[in-house]
Amino acid sequence: MTAAFDQPTITDAARRLRAGELSATELTRAALARAAARAADLHAFITVAEEAALRDAAASDARLRAGKPAGALEGIPIAIKDVIATAGIRTTAGSRILADFVPPYDATVTARLRAAGAVIVGKTNCDEFAMGSSNENSAFGPARNPWDVTRVPGGSSGGSAVAVAASLALGSLGTDTGGSIRLPASYCGVVGMKPTYGRVSRYGVIAYASSLDQVGPFARDVTDCALLLGVLAGHDARDSTSVERAVPDYGDALAGGAKGLRIAIPGEYFVEGMEPDVERAVQSAVETLGGLGAQIGSVSLPHTEYAVSAYYVVATAEASSNLARYDGVRYGSRVDGDGTLLEMYRRTRAAGFGDEVKRRIMLGTYALSAGYYDAYYLKAQRVRTLILNDFARVFQDADVIVTPTAPTTAFRLGEKVADPLQMYLSDIFTISVNLAGLPAISLPCGIDAAGLPIGLQIIGPPFGEELVLRAARAYEAATDWHTRRPPAPGGSR
Amino acid sequence: MSAGDRFEPVIGLEVHAELLTASKIFCGCSASFGAPPNQHTCPVCLGMPGVLPVLNRRVVEFAIRAGLAIRCAIAPRSRWARKNYFYPDLAKGYQISQYELPICVGGHLDIVVDGVAKRVRLTRIHMEEDTGKNIHDAHGSESLVDFNRCGVPLLEIVSEPDLASPAEAGAYLRTLRTLVRYLEICDGNMEEGSFRCDANVSVRARGTTALGVKVEVKNMNSFRAVEKAIAYEIARHARVLEEGGTIVQETRLWDADREETRPMRSKESAHDYRYFPDPDLPPLVVSEALVAEVRRAMPELPDARRTRFVAALKLPEYDAEVLTSRRDLADYFEAVVAAHPNAKAVSNWVMGDVLRLLKERKLDDALTITDWPVAAAHLGELIALIDEGAISGKIAKTVFEEMGTSGGTPRAIVAARGLTQVSDEGPIVAAIDQVLAAHPDKVAEFRAGKDKLLGFFVGQVMKATAGKANPPLVNRLLTEKLRGE
Amino acid sequence: MKISRDEIRHVALLARLALDPAEEEAMTATLDAILTYMEKLGALDTSAVEPTAHMLELPAAWREDRVTNVSDTDALLANAPARDGDFFRVPKIIE
Ligand SMILES: [Mg+2]
Ligand SMILES: [Zn+2]
């Protein structure tokens, strides 16, 4: 097997599949074999759908042979975060309470992948109900960073980032509520994108915080990312918050180059306690973009320091309500207790949810409860307005904003589990984007002294995905960070 | 002075009206009654992970229709909220409802109690989803849940505490039910639970203005039950206060068998519904165009119809009032008048025999007049037969009864049974001669001035002709003979 | 202290979470730390700021009133922890 065969990009593989140089079955078998080989050390998957994947691959091959590929992803092995419903494939949300849940329906994004011909290889590990920044809150045990298995892959879509970084799939889906795509993309050295709120349907995506959640792709490079986004994006009549707005050809946006792009650098994103290597890498990336003809300017997003607080009020409030449905009545696990209804509820939920989920349900319930609603929930919604306004002002004179994705590279497993607040601060650079509903990408922009990837975040105005992809591709084309691969199995640094 | 005199009740009602839509409010499941358990369910109304609500447009139209009829302000922008609580029939752990920004605000309903009109102010009307059904008695230690009703659209119609007696509460409810039926948005069936009422009851010393502690009473499934439950609560409050006790703010259930209220046993730990805007549903924007569209499609409301019946059809106020008390009745009346335009005669038949027949057949709540035992066109024909002199009013009653059982047309029944009125003078004169000959004493009395005896002779002649003689003709010929020649 | 043990118990009941005493204690400490961090929100004057509950001004998203679901009760009840025929079964509900 050549390296190119072993670890192709989607764009490569699609070309070879259509040329008949490669079959979907071979490609899928190779992905499944790597997933099996790395199951123990990376734990990227909660469920590998081997049988279904091979069946889908065979169907893809038949269509390819007939010269009638279903769509842009025909025969491409794709992994899906386990908070996204897959009909007939167990969907756990990384939680004990849904350990045996098999949805009778597909999420809209799942259906879109299938319609484009993708082969769904399995469901990736994640923090329980997408609540976490390290993937350590998975009820099935953490996924691990392929660059150093003693480190976290980032969360909550850790497994999806790992799957792409270690080529267990050619692309994957994650969800991003406060940074849950961009943070693991950054820690695992891959490209991850959170689209504008409303750009991609949330139907069938197990809700964490409904006003912030958004599905997005992980890919090896910006070109693949654009391709995947094109498949996912678009209005869905089953999601009232999805937008009726034409989906541009994101591939066309890639060629624009950096010349003339107005790039804003917010001072608030270069903070004390930041890893110096991260700061250097990001500064150097900005210089690269400047060298490519972009205009660089400093700006201020003055309410950035309030974002984490506002986010953890809004997100947990919504979560406390979204997770009330896990009550042991219609699906999911159940613990009966003393035979009363109240005890059934209390014990089912106590046994079914992990510590972080309980913490967020408690926090959100408190923030909405009588006497605290105004001081917490309503206050946070007002601060959200201020954060939105900050961005709107900057985007009057800028095309994109460039920042680090995270203040540090991947931290060690266990390092922050005892201190939830420290964990929450991992998302300090990604959270504002969700509060404002903006599109943003994370792409590799360096390797730190410990040999760990560094992520560059590019933020666009609402529905400015094309600007984000254009800037990202311009940077990527001028550098080679996206070609760096994690060490071979068993390696650590 | 009795306790009842010293205290005055303050009553507000919350009505939940299930809407007559084809599908549920947020999913494409059927909203119809009577399916086997959990047949009308889907991932959305079962609250399965990841699913999302999409609003049924007709629910908004129905809410606007109700709002316009009650003269509410229709909010150009309203909001969906989540009401959070745990209960097995509530699939998501929250009910999608409206809270701070409902679709309809204000408005009023005019009611009449003992001939006195009163205006009852409304607080609001909002849209929400119904819950499923818990079935309690099937198993000793367990309950069963059916989600067929979960997600059926509801309007919650909230009155101000303007009602001052059980009778006023009853009148308000009946008026409201008439209205929702007129609007064709709800079938108004209290027994089946498609029109439900919770009452907020408090009392205060007469002459004071501060409100007393209120109690919410639930579980009444008829108008009578609502009135009785409120009367019971008023008496209970007065008694407690008389005895120096205090009223506890609580929810009580009406027990129809024991005719008393009792506190709900399930102690929902300090209700705290934690309402907040539902992030899955954007704010509801109602354009002026939509309001205008709904207004154009509004059926004629009871008030307007009553006025028209008096003005255009020259009906007495009383008739107009009775006929418009139910939309189906008024529709039926108009259909009969369309067949035979003698409004007062039709009114008499509809208010009398038709209503009686409906009551006997227990068809009070039948929704469509096409299902009624006597077709409107047939009744029109029957009254036409009377007006033509083809049958007498008395024979008509017999024919009507048969129409009610056989469904036949009056002409066919009259022909088949030989009931056609005799209007030839010959046989009638013969019958008169026979009668007069049989009662010479009464003939003498009549001629001596006892005019009242005319009725007696008419009755005898009708009897002799088996009721088929044309009564006016009998009258004229009899008078001629008796006065006569 | 931003939050007391009693409040934690009350909130846990609202949220239907059984917490043992050790969990209650840990929860009190953690939430107290988080709420203390969040105190900074109080420092911002937001009296003239409208709250944002929804990201986008969206046009009315609604469906026509049509029955579109084909019922598949078996598939929908397949995940039920306890059922009785086509009913879901729960501990006895006391009103
Ligand atoms: Mg209600
Ligand atoms: Zn449904």
Residues of chain C with pLDDT under 70: 95
- As a CATH number, domain B425-482 is 1.10.10.410
The residue annotated as part of the active site, out of A23, A95, A134, A156, is: A156
Our CA-based measurement puts residue B258 at a distance from the nearest CA of chain C, in whole angstroms, of: 17
Residues of chain B with CATH 1.10.10.410: 425-482
Higher pLDDT among residues B475 and C90, named by residue: C90
| B chain contacts of residue C54, beta-carbon cutoff 8 Å | 277, 279, 282-283
Chain A residues whose beta carbon lies within 8 Å of the beta carbon of residue C4: none
Note if the pTM is more than 0.80.
yes
pLDDT value for A492 = 47
Could you tell me where the DSSP H helices lie in A208-352? 222-232, 250-253, 276-291, 307-322, 341-352
- Assess if residue C22 is contained within a domain: yes
Q: CB distance from A333 to chain B under 8 Å? A: no
Q: Which of A129, A148, A166 lies closest to A45 in space, CA to CA?
A: A166
Q: What is the mean pLDDT of residues A328-348?
A: 95
* Nearest ligand atom owner, CA of B98: 1
Q: Compute the average pLDDT of residues B280-291.
A: 96
Residue C53: inside a domain, yes or no?
no
How far is the CA of A474 from the CAs of A178, A280, A286, B126, C95, in angstroms? Answer: 26, 19, 12, 52, 65
> What is residue A140's predicted lDDT score, i.e. its pLDDT?
98
Q: What is the CATH number of the domain that holds C13?
A: 1.10.20
For chain C positions 28-87, those within 8 Å of chain A (CB to CB) are 30-31, 33-34, 37-38, 40-42, 44, 46, 49-56, 58-59, 61-63, 72, 75-76, 78-82
Query: Among residues 12-71 of chain C, which lie with CB inside 8 Å of chain B?
Result: 13-14, 16, 53-54, 56-69, 71
Q: What is the DSSP string of B172-194?
A: HHHHHHHHHHHTTS----TTTTS
Q: Is the peptide bond before A156 cis (omega within 30 degrees of 0)?
A: yes
Tokens for A163, please give them. Answer: 């799957």
How near does any CA of chain A get to the CA of C31, in Å? 7
3-class SS of residue A80 = strand
Percentage of chain B exceeding pLDDT 90: 65
Q: B with C: how many residue pairs have Cβ under 8 Å apart?
A: 135
CA–CA dist A154, A133 (Å, integer): 5
> Which residues fall within 8 angstroms of residue C53, CB to CB, at 6 or more apart?
A211, A381, B79, B276, B277, B279
Q: Look at residue A158 and tell me whether its pLDDT is greater than 90.
A: yes
What confidence score (pLDDT) does residue B266 get?
58
Measured CA to CA, the distance from residue C65 to residue C68 in angstroms comes to 9
pLDDT confidence tier of residue B138, bands split at 50, 70 and 90? low
pLDDT of residue B3: 56
pLDDT per position as a tens digit, B30-82: 999 999 999 999 999 999 999 999 999 999 999 999 999 999 999 999 999 99
The three-state secondary structure class of A134 is: coil
ipTM of the complex: 0.96
Residue B414 pLDDT > 90 = no
Assess whether A186 carries a catalytic annotation.
Answer: no
The per-residue pLDDT for range A420-472, each reduced to its tens digit, is 888 888 899 999 999 999 999 999 999 999 999 999 999 999 999 999 999 99
Proximal ligand: closest to the CA of B157 = 1
For chain A, the structural domain boundaries read 2-264+397-479
Is residue A2 over pLDDT 50? no
Q: Render pLDDT for B325-367 as a digit per residue (tens, 0 to 9).
A: 888 889 999 999 999 999 999 999 999 999 888 888 876 555 5
A20-29, A370-379, B476-485: least confident range: B476-485
**pLDDT, tens digit (0-9, with 9 covering 90-100), for A100-120:** 999 999 999 999 999 999 999
pLDDT digits (tens, 9 = 90+) for A260-293: 999 999 999 998 889 999 999 999 999 999 999 9
pLDDT of residue B468: 81
The verdict on residue C24 lying in a domain is yes
Specify the number of domains making up chain C. Answer: 1
pLDDT greater than 80 at residue B485:
no
Q: How confident is the model at residue B139 (pLDDT cuts 50, 70, 90)?
A: low
C57 found inside a domain:
no
Residue B425's alpha-carbon distances to B149, B386, B431, in angstroms, are: 68, 18, 10
Report whether pLDDT(B369) > 50: yes
Per-residue pLDDT, A447: 98
Chain B residues within an 8 Å CB radius of C75? none
CA distance A312 to A321: 14
- What does the pLDDT read at residue A181? 98
Report residue B4's pLDDT band, with 50, 70 and 90 as the boundaries. Answer: low
State the nearest Cα–Cα gap between C11 and chain B, in angstroms. Answer: 10
pLDDT value of residue A1: 38
Structural domain including C38 reads 5-42
Q: Give the pLDDT score at A61.
A: 98
In this prediction, residues A4-24 reach a mean pLDDT of 88
Measure the CA–CA gap between A239 and A259, rounded to whole angstroms. Answer: 37
- The torsion angle over the Cα atoms of residues A330, A333, A337 and A340, rounded to 10 degrees, is -10
In a domain, C11, yes or no: yes
Q: What residue in B sits closest to A329 (Cα-Cα)?
A: B88
C-alpha B322 to ligand 2 mean position (Å): 41
Residue pair A75/A117 in contact (Cβ under 8 Å)? The answer is: yes
Instruction: Establish whether A160 is a catalytic residue.
Output: no
Model pLDDT, residue A451: 97
Q: How far apart are CA C69 and CA B168, in angstroms?
A: 43
Residue C51 covered by a domain? no
Q: Please determine, for residue B422, whether its predicted confidence score (pLDDT) is greater than 80.
A: no
Rounded to the nearest integer, the mean pLDDT of chain A is 96
pLDDT at residue A3, rounded to an integer: 40
pLDDT number for residue B465: 84
pLDDT at B137: 66
* B192 vs B184: CA distance, rounded Å: 17
Q: Which CATH superfamily is domain A2-264+397-479 in?
A: Amidase signature (AS) domain (3.90.1300.10)
More confident residue, C23 or B463: C23
Task: Report DSSP letters for B333-361, one per residue.
Answer: HHHHHHHS--HHHHHHHIIIIIHHHHHHT
Is 50 exceeded by the pLDDT of residue A210? yes
Q: Say what the pLDDT of residue A400 is.
A: 98
How many of the other CB atoms lie within 10 Å of CB of B50?
22
Whether residue A363 and residue C37 make contact (CB cut-off 8 A), yes or no, is no
Pick from A317, A302, A315: nearest CA to A388:
A302
d(CA A194, CA A199): 10
Active site annotation includes A81 = yes
| Residue B425 Rama label (left phi>0; alpha psi -120 to 50; beta) | alpha
Most confident of A455-459, B109-113, B202-206, B217-221: A455-459
